[in-house]
Amino acid sequence: MLPLNSRMWTLGVCIVFTTGLLHIVTGNDGKSFQNTLGHLHPENSAEVQTSAVENLVVRVLGKDADLFKVTLDPDLGPKGKDTFNLKKLKDNKVIITGTSGVAVAWGLHYYLTTYCNCHVSWEGSQLNLPKILPDVNETVSSNDRFRYYQNVCTAGYSSAWWKWPQWEKNIDWMALNSINLALAFHGQEAIWQKVYLKMQLKKEEIDQHFSGPAFLPWSRMGNFRGWGGPLSQAWHNHTIQLQHSIVRRMRELGITPVLPAFAGHVPRDFIRVFPEANVTKVVSWNGFEDQYCCPYSLDPTDPLFKTVGREFLKAYTDEFGTNHIYNCDSFNENDPHTGDLDYLSNTGKAIYSGMTGADPDAIWLMQGWLFVHSEYFWTFPRVKAFVTSVPIGKMIILDLQSEQFPQYKRFHSYFGQPFIWCMLHNFGGTLGMFGSAGVINKGVFEARTTNGSTMIGTGLTPEGINQNYVIYEFMNEMSYRKKPVVLDNWFENYAVRRYGQADESIRTSWQELGRELYNYDGKTKIRGHYVITKRPSLNIEPWYWYDLKTFLAVWNSFVHAGNGTMKNELFKHDLVDITRQALQITADFIYADIKAAYTQKNLTQLQIASSHLLDLFDDLEKNLASSKDFLLGSWLEDAKAIAPEGATRDRENYEFNARNQITLWGPRGEIVDYANKQWSGVVADYFKPRWEIYLKELQESIRKQTAVPTAKLKRMIFNQVELPFSYSKKLYPTQPKGDSILIAKELYAKWQRFW
């Protein structure tokens, strides 16, 4: 038997799961790509998918589920494209026939929204069906093979604390929106623990490598190690059980789960076991110090890379099965140590061989963020060398932020490799009304029809969800729309179906939002950094791409909407959000007054403006506290609830993870406020106290005629507010308080005079 620290360490035989594969027809040069795709056939039978979608209909519609009959016909539409048919029967029922469980669920959603003016969103549903269902006889096919969902960061910013009920609802939402390709990343640390222990690493060495639950996406991508950890065995057991439920339900509905593959990042103590391994210490990411930064990166050209990759993937697919598509991002915000073309080509081959060593039918799905983030490194020849190192059709590239920085144009449709046109939209799960409807309305069709295009799908890749739902619904419709929509009409209809009814002013307001806030077409990078959510300074530069007077009119319309519209719970959610946005803007105006007063050394005016800003924080807190969707308490309690009963250490660590991620994001504020949340609780105990300290020191600066003590202020804010918030155990409500409508009316009357 060979010793495990030998370079000749060997692994067992892999298991291959057979389903249909992805076939792509291209010209000899790899650029004359034709959208000819074979089926990636759902793993489960038509009977299993039918049963799964029948249960979905019941979960969505309750007693009204009997109004719909579902059936599967895999040969219904064009090969490789999901299709559904809707037909009204004589008994006031609609039969939905689809090529898969996803297609049937999508058909249900299409009928509900298009024919019944209903609505299903992350925040809730409006499902007031007419007593007599509208007549229908329509067949709809997708434009592309895939509709993709999730960013690798979503698992940190949004779903870190989800249990099965939340995942079940999320998977239902996926199917209703025709999503048939989605990340399924749970359980990988538990599998890595098994693999590393088999390789004779020690448990404490492994524990030092894995981060805490809220930071796992960045640990997985090699950005840092250990922060917020260690992970307990209870966490590993939780993720294994949850992943089984997730992939089982996805497959039952016909959704293809994308599983993780080995990206090359290994624990520091890997070289204790394999001292001859060709490893490179990863460069520090965002200033993390050595205790938490810089795991080792095993060079893909080292034969050991394929061995480790094969062992992990074999163990993972032995546990969870496979549909042959794997995500691997080896260079996320972390460039290769050389740009040599042969090296990059050999690197791509090695990474892919790590997958095929366990699964000969593997397809590599890669986020294209590296090409956006490191444009200076990833030049035309380097990208070509890297992506064409894998057989054409065996790599799918997510053009991750196509709505703002599309890369497929720069790289000639990735030199023949298929890509998915993705809307990233959100960074860090921050709140702030924003979208690029006009760009999406044009860009998707342009990418699909460009000569030589290798586009095979559309995708949603937000870092965080539960914000700006309208732009995600709009993007999802691009999967079947045959031509651009009339935006005014679309946004007006959105208002009607979201609220069940909408008076004229609200319909007009949504049209205005579609023309202004949701029609950004610039290149400035938006990261949710607003005056109220940034560390205080005199160097913040607020900016707007939309007309502020128009938005004030929208706020006015929502505050004074008709009683019928106001009864809708989704309207109340939107009213809170619009009021939040309005107060966010108002804070920018007050901030300008603060800067002007300080520049003029006018203490009286500074005191007045300071009082206004602190008062606004109180009102923002009151507004957010009136909605269940804007509560810090829910995020914290969900985190603590993951811990088993009596597991005090886990419970405390999960709460710390949840608090730190949305504030300091690191031990010293390495990416402070990146994932900030305008939530009740955060406003009162984090955002406002920082400004209280800062404004007091500004006033002292004028009184004493001294410079602003910038370094001192940073230390004070860190030590008195930011760090204590991460470690606090204060409890926060999980239920809303106050009447959102009355509060919005009060705040409009109070603050609109600043506009």
Q: Give the C-alpha separation, 641 to 162, whole Å.
A: 10
Domain ranges, ordered by start, for the chain:
46-141, 146-485, 515-754
Q: Give the C-alpha separation, 532 to 527, whole Å.
A: 14
Tell me phi and psi for residue 677, to 5 degrees.
-125, 125
Tell me phi and psi for residue 297, to 5 degrees.
-110, 115
Q: Give the C-alpha separation, 523 to 434, whole Å.
A: 13
User: Predicted confidence band at 15 (pLDDT cuts at 50, 70, 90)?
Assistant: very low
Is 335 in contact with 377 (CB distance < 8 Å)?
yes
Percent of the chain with pLDDT over 90: 92
Mean pLDDT value of segment 312-332: 96
For residue 536, what pLDDT is reported? 97
Tell me phi and psi for residue 126, to 5 degrees.
-125, 105
Residue found under tokens 């249990």: 163
User: Predicted confidence band at 740 (pLDDT cuts at 50, 70, 90)?
Assistant: very high
**DSSP tag of 13:** P
| Neighbour tally for 413: CB within 10 Å | 22
Q: Enter the CATH code of domain 46-141.
A: 3.30.379.10
| Neighbour tally for 381: CB within 10 Å | 11
Each residue's pLDDT tens digit, 183-192: 999 999 999 9
Percent of the chain with pLDDT over 70: 94
Nearest to 391 by CA among 144, 14, 143, 21: 21
The residue type at 131: K
Strand arrangement of the beta sheet that strand 279-281 belongs to: 265-266, 296-298, 279-281
Strand, coil or helix: 97:
strand
Q: Which CATH architecture has domain 515-754?
A: Up-down Bundle (1.20)
User: Predicted confidence band at 43 (pLDDT cuts at 50, 70, 90)?
Assistant: confident
Joined tokens for residue 627: 């909605």
The CATH T-level fold of domain 146-485 is TIM Barrel (3.20.20)
User: Predicted confidence band at 22 (pLDDT cuts at 50, 70, 90)?
Assistant: very low
Rounded to 5°, angle at Cα 686 from 682 and 691: 130
The residue type at 573: H
> Which of 152 and 39 is assigned the larger pLDDT?
152
Global pTM exceeds 0.75: yes
Joined tokens for residue 614: 């602190």
Burial 259-285 (b: 16+ CB within 10 A, else e): bbbbbbbbbbbbeebbeebebeebeeb
Dihedral angle sign, alpha carbons of residues 555, 559, 564, 567: positive
For residue 681, what pLDDT is reported? 98
Joined tokens for residue 608: 């007045």
- For 226: left if phi > 0, alpha if psi spans -120 to 50, otherwise beta; the answer is left
Q: Give the C-alpha separation, 690 to 147, whole Å.
A: 43
Q: Are strands 296-298 and 256-260 parallel, antiparallel or unpaired?
A: unpaired
Residue found under tokens 């732009």: 471
User: Predicted confidence band at 42 (pLDDT cuts at 50, 70, 90)?
Assistant: low
For residue 408, what pLDDT is reported? 97
Q: Is the pLDDT of residue 624 over 90?
A: yes
Each residue's pLDDT tens digit, 327-344: 999 998 989 999 999 999
Is 322 in contact with 256 (CB distance < 8 Å)?
no
Q: Is the pLDDT of residue 17 over 50?
A: no
Is 417 in contact with 455 (CB distance < 8 Å)?
no
Nearest to 727 by CA among 679, 646, 683, 664: 664
Nearest to 422 by CA among 22, 35, 146, 105: 146
Tell me phi and psi for residue 692, to 5 degrees.
-60, -45
Q: Give the C-alpha separation, 568 to 123, whole Å.
A: 12
The residue type at 400: L
Nearest to 272 by CA among 208, 201, 206: 201
Q: Are strands 34-37 and 24-25 parallel, antiparallel or unpaired?
A: antiparallel
Cis peptide leading into residue 257 (ω within 30°): no
Average per-residue pLDDT for the chain: 93
Is 323 in contact with 40 (CB distance < 8 Å)?
yes
Q: Is the pLDDT of residue 748 over 60?
A: yes
| Neighbour tally for 581: CB within 10 Å | 20
- For 424: left if phi > 0, alpha if psi spans -120 to 50, otherwise beta; the answer is alpha
Half-sphere exposure of 730 (CA within 13 A, CB side): 13
Q: Give the C-alpha separation, 566 to 571, whole Å.
A: 6
Joined tokens for residue 689: 């106290």
For residue 6, what pLDDT is reported? 31
Q: Give the C-alpha separation, 450 to 467, whole Å.
A: 32
CA dist 298 to 264, 302, 303, 336, Å? 5, 7, 10, 11
Q: Give the C-alpha separation, 641 to 213, whole Å.
A: 13
Can you give 192-252 as a three-state secondary structure string? HHHHHHHCCCCHHHHHCCCCCHHHHHHHHCCCECCCCCCCCHHHHHHHHHHHHHHHHHHHH
User: Predicted confidence band at 527 (pLDDT cuts at 50, 70, 90)?
Assistant: confident
For residue 293, what pLDDT is reported? 95
Can you give 631-670 as a three-state secondary structure string? EHHHHHHHHHHCCCCCCHHHHHHHHHHHHHHCCCCCCCCC
> Which of 507 and 3 is assigned the larger pLDDT?
507
Joined tokens for residue 478: 């691009």
Mean pLDDT value of segment 490-502: 96
Using N-to-C axis directions, what is the helix angle for 632-641 and 648-661, rounded to 10°?
150
Is 624 in contact with 683 (CB distance < 8 Å)?
yes
Q: Give the C-alpha separation, 282 to 271, whole Å.
A: 14
For residue 526, what pLDDT is reported? 74
**DSSP tag of 285:** S
For residue 44, what pLDDT is reported? 84
For residue 41, what pLDDT is reported? 59
Mean pLDDT value of segment 209-217: 98
Using N-to-C axis directions, what is the helix angle for 469-477 and 487-499, rounded to 10°?
120
Is 229 in contact with 207 (CB distance < 8 Å)?
yes
Q: Give the C-alpha separation, 449 to 290, whole Å.
A: 48
Q: Give the C-alpha separation, 683 to 584, whole Å.
A: 12
DSSP per residue over 273-289, as a string?
Answer: H-TT--EEEPPPSTT--
Residue found under tokens 């990146």: 674
Is 372 in contact with 401 (CB distance < 8 Å)?
yes
Q: Which residues pair with 280 in a beta bridge?
A: 297
